[in-house]
Amino acid sequence: MPYKLIKRVGELLAVLLVVSFGTFSLMSLMPGDPAVTILGDGRTPEEYAAVRTELGLDDPLLTRYWHWLSSALTGDLGQSVIPPHTEVTARVAAALPVSVELALLGLVLALVLSVPLAMWSASHEGKRVDRFISAGTFGMLSVPSFLAGLLIIMVMVNQLGWFPRSEWVRLSEDFGGNLYHAFLPACVIAFTETAMFTRILRNDLISTLREDFILSAKAKGMSTLHVLVSDALRPSSFSMITVLGISLGRLIGSTVIVEYLFALPGMGTLVVGSASNGDFRMVQGAVMVIALIYIAANALIDASYGYLDPRIRRAHV
């Protein structure tokens, strides 16, 4: 067991190292001169050269990467190259809670909706209910997230006036107000995730319901709801749980459309805005944090497999 744990941790660290180096290399290929971005146009070549020397841009790629990585391992992600040169850690710390909250709320809403829908559909395989749910989820997957967001805004904000569109209250300031302002963005995120989770869990439930132990439970007179919840749901959750972990890491850094629609100061807005401005240090630090969360989430998902299926837990003993 310790060997497998050490091996798994080593694999995760290797992935994090590859992601950080890939991001660092891509940032070095960005068009434009960081010195011009910092100083602006009209300066002398000597002034531009001094800035490039100060930033270490004249050093080889591996040397620059090592200096950045050694600082990042101590928690120092550097400063933004764009005035007022704020700390990257401070900007990330301000944006990360927004994206994490939106991703978690969206996934919770998706699970609350998708699990009962999938069980209902699987228990009526081939019937009208199953066909209706399958068609509905397929249609939801066909709608782009920006269009779903615009439709939700048109109905819930413009027509009904139930929710605000472009205001954000932090959780530390007002818990109720925060949930009120986060609900619509979370609904937009949950829209696509609900359809995906429902289809995945429904297919796995149908396979599980054909297993011998399920047929045995039904023969003992167990109700369909009891069989679905107590016997079939856990072993059918592997694919959905795996996708859940992938979705969490993906959503933290890819909610830029939702953040744009609702003017939210999250990680997606931070990364896209920094890349547009040529702030390579900010992009490197933000991507590093997103990758770390993504890897940690998937490690927790792997650990949950033993709980979902005791056979896996016994196999590692």
In the chain, pLDDT over 90 holds for what percent of residues? 4
Beta bridge partners of residue 171, listed in sequence order: none
pLDDT of residue 113: 92
84 prior amide bond cis, ω within 30: yes
**In angstroms, rounded to a whole number, what is the distance separating the alpha carbons of residues 68 and 80?**
13
Per-residue pLDDT tens for 238-253?
788 878 877 877 777 6
120 and 67 share a domain? no
The larger pLDDT score, comparing residue 190 to residue 214, is at: 190
Characterize 208-238 residue by residue with b for buried, 16 or more Cβ atoms within 10 angstroms of its Cβ, and e for exposed.
bbeeeebeebeeeeeeeeebbeebbbebbbb
Per-residue pLDDT tens for 277-294?
778 888 888 888 888 887
Over 70: is that where the pLDDT of 105 sits? yes
Q: Is residue 203 part of a domain?
A: yes
Which of the 8 DSSP states describes residue 166?
S
- Averaged over 55-84, what is the pLDDT? 82
CA 128, 129, 134, 140 dihedral sign is: positive
Say how many domains are in the chain.
2
Q: How confident is the model at residue 112 (pLDDT cuts 50, 70, 90)?
A: very high
218 and 287 share a domain? yes
- Averaged over 66-72, what is the pLDDT? 85
50 and 146 share a domain? no
Over 80: is that where the pLDDT of 189 sits? yes
Over 60: is that where the pLDDT of 136 sits? yes
User: Which pTM value belongs to this model?
Assistant: 0.77
Per-residue pLDDT tens for 20-43?
888 888 877 766 667 776 776 777
Over 60: is that where the pLDDT of 90 sits? yes
Q: Are 185 and 262 in contact (CB under 8 A)?
A: yes
Q: Is residue 4 part of a domain?
A: no
Average pLDDT, the chain: 80
CATH number for the domain harbouring residue 157? 1.10.3720.10
Which of the 8 DSSP states describes residue 228?
I
Which domain range does residue 142 map to?
96-315
